[in-house]
Structure 1
Amino acid sequence: MAELDAITPWEALERAIAPFYPAEGSTGRPHKGLTRRLRMYVAQQCFSFSDEGTEEAIYDSQAIRHFIGVDLGRETAPDATTLLQFRHRLERHQLTEAIFNTIHAHLAEPGLFLREGTLVDATLIAAPPSTKNKEGKRDPDMHSSKKRNPWHFGMKAPIGVDAHSGLVHTLIGTAGHVSDIRQAEALLHGETLVVWHVAMRPGKRRALDQSPEAEQQEGREQTKASLRANVEHPFPVVKNLFHHRKVRYKGLAKHTSPLFSLFGLAHWRLARRWFLPAGGKVAF
């Protein structure tokens, strides 16, 4: 977690959240501080902990205690209710989007966003299809979508990625059945001069004849595939490293809120080569 701590612009994030955070002494419970709650929330997102699991991890892991800034010899750890209330505050005031935008601005300062091209893609995030709950219904904001042959029930996270750096500059949350094409315009920035379509599938490329025209087509398809590869990089960070493969709450707004935090925090992995010394290792 040392790399995440080094790359994250903590002071800027606190300034973005502070206007919506109660002043010290304005509540009845012992005040744990904005810095500590923010770090507790970040640890929860990165490790896919529940609220209670985050509290337990503070007691169990010295690395997480050090990251959050808790000394158990002098104080108790912030409890699960503290984190729950902080997370609800972030959702209520759309502050996870502010976290995403603040990290984006921090990365834009050294010129990592050239704004010369945008790559667009979307990933499916599963939702529980079961109706075995109190209401006897599925989440009404989630819908089924077909990816190749299987059907998936859940939501989509379309993203716009800077073609140069591979960093995410725009994020949208939609139901699973919403077409990716309908979101493309909202994910672009600036004036569009050239539009590249998706690369031809390898099976179709292998079926091309050996004519000079086919060889030229093969070269164009390889170029498209290499350009498009950058848009795939944020997804495994969010889904595999942060383990966000399924939605955790109900309602599209609650599902989309943590995505802004997750894709914002994913930049520590995507941008580490620009901010960390050569040979730096992940301390996760």
Structure 2
Amino acid sequence: MQQQTSFAELEYRNKKRQTRRELFLAEMETVVPWANLLSCIEPHYPKAGRRGRQPMPLASMFRIYCLQQWFNFSDRQMEDALYEIDSVRRFAGFACVTDALPDETTILNFRHLLEKHDLPAQLLARINAHLQAKGITVSRGSMVDASIIHAPSSTKNAAKARDPEMHQTMKNRQWYFGMKLHVGVDVNSGAVHSVVATAANRSDIEQLPKLLRASDEVVFGDTGYASQDYKRGARALGLRWCVQEKGSRSHPLSSSQRKKNRKQSSIRARVEHVFRVIKRQFAYTKVRYRGLAKNAAQVNMLESVHAARAAAGRLRGKVRLPSAVGE
């Protein structure tokens, strides 16, 4: 039997305009392959039994988890948002504020369930497989880059210590404390296909093998990935090495090397868009949790959204690799 439309529902539908949050959630409703992702989580989610408290619907809990990551809510803030914000509550699948809404402990337990089974990384892999099946991520090249995400450096806490999994590093004569986010991005679509989180003092090039796909034929990177050993190894594997050449005071770059760098940077620079989305649109400039695993799980979810949005049409123009690049 069809449920009767309430006055609150009619009032919500007839609003004069939609907010930016509502427009974003409407986009997520269409671009995220929800059924595919839920099938990945379902084997690990508690089943309803005859006795005891019945689990919350999986679809609602997963949508709440996504909302928490997208809007950078804590567990308590997420619970409050379900009561306060109509668009958030409706996106999670609850029609009215009088429905049985999950509390902060339920939200926390679901997040821990995903982290325990490393499901955010599997969800990112499923989204990329979904895009590949639709012929979106069809290029055989990757752009790689890394960026520092700050962590609290204060020791004014119960343990009187910093996070042991974070570390300090110097960049441009300035010290930073936190973790380093490494990404591998598809050249054609701009979708992220690989994510690695390390301490901030780990070098970029150490993580390069983890950021490439077996089908890649070309790799773009900045001078942080410059290495003659890796260059020779890549060419031995038939991989085009399009990493920026690095000069020095005693050995400055030649005119041909500078020209090659400019040509390659026109493609490589597109990887910076990933960090702009993560740090500006999702405001992920400082880690939320202690430990690399929990923060890596959050980043994987954010990158999953970026991959889906990139494939939805914002980057419809295909990038053709110039024939002169890497020659």
* TM-score category, normalised to shorter length: 0.7 to 0.9
Instruction: Name the TM-score, length of structure 2 as normaliser.
Output: 0.76
Aligned twin of 1:77 = 101
| Residues 207-233 of structure 1: CA deviation (Å, up to 9, x unaligned) | 99xxxx73x555423211111022111
**CA 1:275–1:176: 2 relative to 1, 3 Å:** closer
| Residues 191-248 of structure 1: CA deviation (Å, up to 9, x unaligned) | 55211122679xx9xx99xxxx73x555423211111022111111111111111111
Q: CA deviation at 1:268?
A: 3.3
Find the aligned partners of 2:170 and 2:26 in 1 and give their Cα distance: 40
Structure 1, gaps ≥5 residues long: 277-284
User: For the Cα contact (< 8 Å) 2:70–2:302, is it kept in 1?
Assistant: yes
Instruction: Name the TM-score, length of structure 1 as normaliser.
Output: 0.87
User: For the Cα contact (< 8 Å) 2:72–2:282, is it kept in 1?
Assistant: yes
Aligned twin of 1:3 = 27
The SS at the match of 1:249 is coil
Q: What does residue range 250-261 of structure 1 map to in structure 2 within 5 Å?
A: 250-261=290-301
Q: Which moved more, 1:4-13 or 1:181-190?
A: 181-190
Aligned twin of 2:219 = none
User: For the Cα contact (< 8 Å) 2:83–2:89, is it kept in 1?
Assistant: yes
User: For the Cα contact (< 8 Å) 1:48–1:242, is it kept in 2?
Assistant: yes
**Residue 162 (structure 1) aligned with residue 192 (structure 2):** no
Q: What does residue range 209-248 of structure 1 map to in structure 2 within 5 Å?
A: 214=255, 216-248=256-288
- What amino acid is aligned across from residue 82 of structure 1 in structure 2? T
How many residues align structurally? 267
Identical columns (%): 39
Find the aligned partners of 1:26 and 1:99 in 2 and give their Cα distance: 30
Aligned twin of 1:41 = 65
Q: CA deviation at 1:274?
A: 6.5
Aligned twin of 1:53 = 77
Aligned twin of 1:198 = 244
Higher relative contact order (CA 8 A, sep 6+): 1
Aligned twin of 1:20 = 44
| Residues 74-122 of structure 1: CA deviation (Å, up to 9, x unaligned) | 5132221111010000011111112111111111112222241111101
Q: CA deviation at 1:178?
A: 0.4
**CA 1:187–1:72: 2 relative to 1, 3 Å:** same
Q: Which moved more, 1:165-174 or 1:109-118?
A: 109-118
Find the aligned partners of 1:147 and 1:75 in 2 and give their Cα distance: 51
User: For the Cα contact (< 8 Å) 2:190–2:315, is it kept in 1?
Assistant: no
Q: CA deviation at 1:6?
A: 0.5
Find the aligned partners of 2:264 and 2:298 in 1 and give their Cα distance: 31
Find the aligned partners of 1:26 and 1:98 in 2 and give their Cα distance: 31
**CA 1:228–1:27: 2 relative to 1, 3 Å:** farther
Structure 2, gaps ≥5 residues long: 1-24, 215-236, 317-327
User: For the Cα contact (< 8 Å) 2:61–2:107, is it kept in 1?
Assistant: yes
Find the aligned partners of 2:52 and 2:168 in 1 and give their Cα distance: 45
**Residue 64 (structure 1) aligned with residue 88 (structure 2):** yes
Aligned twin of 1:280 = none
Which consecutive segments of 4 or more residues in structure 1 shift more than 4 A?
A: none
Aligned twin of 2:144 = 120
**CA 1:73–1:264: 2 relative to 1, 3 Å:** closer
Q: Which moved more, 1:18-27 or 1:252-261?
A: 18-27
Aligned twin of 1:133 = 157
